[in-house]
């Protein structure tokens, strides 16, 4: 019963909204053309005023711009009739929000918007009961955008859609991550199985093992982590140039990965096997058209990557293929290399998420800053969005290194913070390498996939704990902080229980002849393993 209760709590934490701030929406339309509308994020205090949940039967108020005035004294109002019965926007200054509201209400304003050049948050203070106009904080960048897109002759209204009880996007990301790990780990094990079976006949080849694996030794693991550190720091300081390099590399890598994944399925189709000569070789027509399809998918994403309404679907398809292919291609030879690689990357993840805010000038987390993509109109809020300096910002460009799913349910939270739930490829691929090693070890030791299944379950549990921590702490979390201990611990416990820790630690590299012999005489092979 306790286990069931803990599982229900973990699932509920997975579904809970990641933030619970008091966000609202400023709805604006142009008076000369009511079809031209736009919405902006605002923060308000529910204890000060109550906003309607929808725009139905809402009363609009004409907006008066007093910026750059602060409204800290009555002298900031040139004429009383300028703001009478209007919504006004002023700059944030040294005086309190309530002092501004008293002056605004004294001149019969209907609404007070306070434009802030610093990160916005919930207004606070002991409100005087005599103040009854709505007070909201808004980004100054949004006010500038409002003037540029709709002009100054506009009317506005405030409302706050209810925060959904849960976000389906988090569930979908969880399923995608677990699916990638399962497919990549299973594929890696099948390649190992075919390699062991076909090794006595070196001329034979199969579709599954048509691509050579890249082995990550302890030395290459350390080198990989060092390069990752350097690249992340370079991305932080030179984002607006390097982001296009990463986008280009992703297009090439994702197209190749999609081809590798789909070609395994296409090869099983018994039709369309005709060939044509090309560069002294014969190429299958169906693989040629498959390559064109994969290139077209990658190019289409590159052209329309900023179309938030649908481009995320294509990015996720390419990302899934990239993660699955990388888990299959990168081969960790033993558990010792897995511990070293994942341990170093755990420290890397924790350092760049939790430690770098104490080092950077503006208190920014380098990992969150790079992963979410700086933009000129975004500000930092609980680790979800980032305020980018003009020197580093590449507007509207994000690194294609994440699985992204829109939160699907519109709310102030979605508009004010991140419209997407994100999970980095590294949080899928890196634990996936351990899952793949476990499956290969299962194949080598004929252990009925016990390592593979247990490590996959541990990954799913670690992902649940990650989302639960994200929900409770309401700040960015290094997923490897939870995924690495879960997967390493489960694999270690299975190896200790089966008394195979030494083999599991050093890697059990059977010769193909021995494996072939065990295939011919499984009874004798099982007796030998039992004797060991």
Q: Residue 271's pLDDT is what?
A: 67
Residues 6+ apart with CB under 8 A from 34: none
What pLDDT score was predicted for residue 42? 87
Q: Is 204 helix (H, G, I), strand (E, B) or coil?
A: coil
Burial classification of residue 502, based on how many CB atoms lie within 10 Å of its CB (0-12 exposed, 13-18 middle, 19 or more buried): exposed
For residue 61, the 8-state DSSP code is E
DSSP classification of residue 356 = G
452-508 per-position pLDDT tens digit: 999 999 999 999 998 888 777 766 678 899 999 999 999 999 999 999 999 999 886
Q: What's the pLDDT score for residue 454?
A: 96
> Quick one: pLDDT at residue 526?
45
349 catalytic residue (yes or no): yes
φ, ψ of residue 450 to 5 degrees: the values are: -70, -40
- What residues are paired with 283 via a beta bridge? 276
- Contacts of residue 411, defined as CB under 8 A and 6 or more positions apart, other chains included, come to 23, 161, 162, 163, 164
Q: Are 165 and 15 in contact (CB under 8 A)?
A: yes
Looking at 299-446, which runs of residues are DSSP E strands?
330-331, 402-406, 420-424
Active-site choice (85, 165, 427, 514): 427
Question: In this predicted structure, what is the pLDDT of residue 272?
Answer: 61
Looking at residue 8, what is its pLDDT? Answer: 44
Q: What is the pLDDT of residue 276?
A: 60
The predicted pLDDT at position 418 comes to 61
User: 3-state DSSP call for residue 343?
Assistant: helix
Q: Are 14 and 465 in contact (CB under 8 A)?
A: no
Per-residue pLDDT of the chain (532 residues; tens, 9 = 90+): 444 444 444 443 333 333 334 788 888 999 888 888 888 888 888 888 888 888 888 889 999 998 888 888 888 887 777 888 899 999 988 888 888 888 888 888 899 999 988 877 778 777 776 788 898 989 888 899 899 989 989 999 998 887 665 567 788 899 999 999 999 999 999 988 888 777 655 544 444 544 567 788 889 989 999 998 999 899 888 888 899 999 999 999 999 999 999 998 888 777 666 666 655 566 677 888 899 999 999 999 999 998 877 889 999 999 999 999 999 999 999 999 999 999 999 999 888 888 888 887 777 788 877 876 654 433 333 323 233 333 333 446 788 888 988 876 655 556 676 677 788 899 999 999 999 999 999 998 888 899 999 999 999 999 999 888 877 776 667 889 999 999 999 999 999 999 999 999 988 654 444 455 555 555 544 444 444 4
**Radius of gyration for the chain, computed over Cα atoms and rounded to the nearest angstrom:** 28
DSSP string, 447-511: -TTHHHHHHHHHHHHHHHHHHHHHHHH-S---THHHHHHHHHHHHHHHHHHTT-HHHHHH-----
Q: Which of 33, 145, 316, 349 is catalytic?
A: 349
Round to whole Å and give the CA distance between 111 and 86.
Answer: 7
Please tell me the predicted confidence (pLDDT) of residue 525: 46
């Amino acid at each position: 019963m306790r286990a069931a209760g803990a599982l229900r709590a973990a699932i509920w934490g997975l579904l809970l909204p990641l933030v619970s701030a008091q966000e609202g929406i400023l709805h604006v339309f142009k008076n000369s053309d009511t079809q031209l509308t736009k919405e902006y994020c605002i923060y308000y205090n529910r204890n000060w005023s109550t906003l309607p949940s929808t725009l139905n039967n809402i009363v609009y108020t004409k907006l008066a711009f007093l910026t750059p005035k602060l409204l800290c004294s009555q002298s900031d109002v040139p004429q009383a009739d300028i703001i009478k019965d209007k919504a006004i926007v002023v700059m944030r200054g040294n005086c309190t929000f309530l002092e501004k509201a008293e002056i605004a209400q004294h001149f019969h304003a209907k609404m007070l918007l306070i434009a802030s050049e610093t990160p916005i948050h919930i207004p606070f203070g002991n409100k005087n009961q005599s103040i009854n106009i709505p007070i909201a904080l808004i980004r100054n960048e949004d006010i500038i955008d409002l003037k540029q897109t709709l002009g100054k002759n506009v009317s506005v209204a405030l409302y706050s859609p209810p925060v959904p009880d849960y976000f389906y996007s988090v569930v979908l990301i969880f399923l995608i991550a677990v699916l990638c790990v399962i497919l990549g780990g299973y594929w890696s094990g099948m390649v190992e199985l075919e390699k062991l079976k076909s090794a006595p006949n070196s001329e034979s080849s199969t579709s599954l093992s048509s691509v050579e694996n890249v082995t990550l030794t302890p030395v290459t693991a350390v080198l990989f982590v060092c390069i990752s550190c350097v690249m992340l720091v370079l991305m932080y300081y030179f984002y607006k140039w390097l982001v296009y390099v990463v986008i280009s590399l992703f297009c090439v890598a994702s197209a190749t990965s999609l081809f590798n994944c789909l070609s395994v399925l296409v090869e099983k189709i018994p039709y369309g096997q005709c060939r044509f000569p090309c560069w002294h070789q014969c190429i299958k027509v169906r693989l040629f058209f498959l390559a064109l399809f994969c290139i077209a998918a990658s190019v289409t994403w590159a052209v329309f990557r900023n179309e938030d309404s649908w481009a995320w679907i294509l990015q996720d398809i390419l990302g899934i293929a990239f993660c699955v292919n990388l888990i299959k291609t990168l081969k960790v030879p033993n558990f010792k290399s897995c511990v070293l690689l994942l341990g170093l990357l755990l420290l890397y993840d924790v350092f760049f998420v939790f430690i770098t805010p104490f080092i950077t000038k503006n208190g920014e987390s380098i990992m969150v800053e790079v992963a979410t993509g700086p933009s000129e109109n975004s500000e930092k809020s609980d680790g979800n969005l980032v305020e980018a300096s003009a020197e580093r910002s590449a507007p509207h460009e994000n690194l294609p290194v994440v699985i992204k799913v829109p939160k699907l349910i519109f709310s102030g939270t979605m508009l004010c913070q991140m419209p997407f739930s994100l999970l980095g490829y590294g949080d899928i691929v890196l634990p996936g390498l351990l899952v793949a090693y476990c499956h290969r070890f299962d194949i080598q030791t004929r252990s009925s996939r016990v390592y593979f299944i247990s490590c996959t379950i541990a990954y799913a549990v670690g992902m649940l704990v990650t989302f639960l921590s994200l929900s409770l702490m309401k700040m960015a979390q290094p997923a490897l902080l939870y995924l690495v201990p879960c997967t390493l611990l489960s694999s270690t416990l299975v190896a200790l229980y089966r008394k195979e820790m030494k083999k599991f630690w050093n890697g059990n590299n059977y010769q193909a002849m021995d494996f072939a012999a065990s295939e011919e005489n499984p009874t004798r092979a099982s007796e030998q393993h039992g004797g060991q």
